[in-house]
Amino acid sequence: MLMSPALVALGLIAFVATGAVLLACGFALRILGCWDLASGGELQVRLERRTYLISTLLGFALGAELLSLLLFVHTAESLSSQFVGAMCATGVLNANAFGFPALLLKIAVFFLAALWLLLNRIDNRGYDYPLVRLKYGLLLALAPLTVAEATVQTLYFLGLKPDVITSCCGSLFGADGRGAAAELAGLPPEPTLVAFYGTGAALLVSGLAFRRRLRLGPLFAAGCALAFGVAIAAIIAVLSLYVYENPNHHCPFCLLKAGYGYLGYALYVPLFVAAAAGLGAGLIAPLGRIASLRAVVPGEVRRLTWLALGGFGIFYGLATWVIVRSNLVLLG
């Protein structure tokens, strides 16, 4: 195994977050079974008191999970110099079978944790704990993922051996290869760009409409999820080519390198924040029907929608700048 402070820090975060989530799960089961706001019994008072602790603890643990995604990608990128054959994070993640599953689990936990934090934030502002069951129900769904993420990440770190010859991004994200990454890399540029900007326009329209009619929440959430997927596909299929000014280099991780001005962070951070905010806005909009949240939800949804549109705006702006500035002629 490799020994590096970043791996120690990531391990510590995973350990603390998993511990907090498991602790909270035991509590969640009692909440789902015994919560009765009308009761003034001792158990209910204890549960109400404890929910403060649990929700604060989870707030920190899941907040740390959000940061750990960033640290994980940064670490994978910085370890690339230690593996034979690795040019960027792709090679490091490919160094054993657990690298990419760990990344995908971390992304899944990122979105679910963001949603949970949002629900918690809204729940704390209603006077009668309106979302307590929903919140802890979601936690029970989140727990197995967190445990799986911590386990897979640990297996990945333990299995990192510098003498393993790994493959570089060219073989995974090559248009001639096989698998999902190669499929994405092989997408034709022109239709991909049309889909990319088409989704962006559709998202803007649906976002503006959603701000007026909260009923459109699920539609906006679906739009954000779609735009996120299309954006990732566009990065692999087209945008990366413009950045590297090379018609065959499709890697979405080389963008994180200092040589490209850390452009990847400038693209991915707004994209992930926008997608999480958009999904959250769309999914919490229907909660406005709950009496104690009627005053809270519309304002929150509007703010999140702005955040989502702003984030996607930054992403699309940067992407367009990359295309315009590039010396590569891909179309026409």
**Is 323:189 a contact under the CB 8 Å cutoff?**
no
Q: Which 20-39 positions form the footprint of other proteins (CB under 8 A)?
A: 20
Contact between residue 318 and residue 266 where contact means Cβ atoms under 8 Å apart: yes
CA atoms of 299 and 88, how far apart (whole Å): 42
For other proteins, the binding residues in 107-126 under the rule CB under 8 A are 124
The correct pick among 22, 29, 82, 295 for binding other proteins (CB under 8 A) is: 82
In whole angstroms, the minimum distance from the beta carbon of 88 to other proteins comes to 14
Q: Under rule CB under 8 A, which residues in 146-205 are in contact with other proteins? A: 162
- Residues 234, 321: Cα–Cα separation, whole Å: 14
Contacts (Cβ under 8 Å, ≥6 apart) of 28: 136, 137, 139, 140
d(CA 208, CA 253): 33
Q: Supply 239's token pair.
A: 């945008």
Reduced to 3 states (helix: H, G, I; strand: E, B; else coil), residue 198 is: helix
Task: Report the residue from 36, 37, 60, 205 that binds other proteins according to the rule CB under 8 A.
Answer: 60
**67 contacts other proteins (rule: CB under 8 A):** yes
Per-residue binding string, other proteins, 287-326, x by CB under 8 A, is ------------x---x-----------------------
Query: CB count, 10 Å around CB of 1?
Result: 12
Are the C-beta atoms of residues 131 and 123 closer than 8 Å to each other?
Answer: yes
Asked whether position 6 contacts other proteins by CB under 8 A, the answer is yes
Q: Are 84 and 7 in contact (CB under 8 A)?
A: no
In the bound state with other proteins, the residue whose beta carbon lies nearer, of 9 and 209, is 9
| Burial of residue 148 (number of CB atoms within 10 Å: 0-12, 13-18, 19+) | middle
Give me 157's structure tokens: 């770190």
Tell me, by CB under 8 A, how many residues bind other proteins: 36
Taking CB under 8 A as the criterion, the residue among 30, 35, 44, 70 binding other proteins is 70
Q: Which two tokens stand for residue 214?
A: 């909260």
Which part of the chain contacts other proteins (CB under 8 A), choosing from 29-37, 54-62, 130-138, 145-153? 54-62
In the complex with other proteins, the residue whose CB is nearer, 75 or 94, is 75
Q: Which residue in the set 39, 56, 246, 248 belongs to the binding site for other proteins (CB under 8 A)?
A: 56
Residue selected from 30, 35, 44, 64 as contacting other proteins according to rule CB under 8 A: 64
Residues that bind other proteins (CB under 8 A): 2-10, 12-13, 16, 20, 49, 52-53, 56-57, 60, 64, 67-68, 70-71, 74-75, 78-79, 81-84, 124, 162, 299, 303
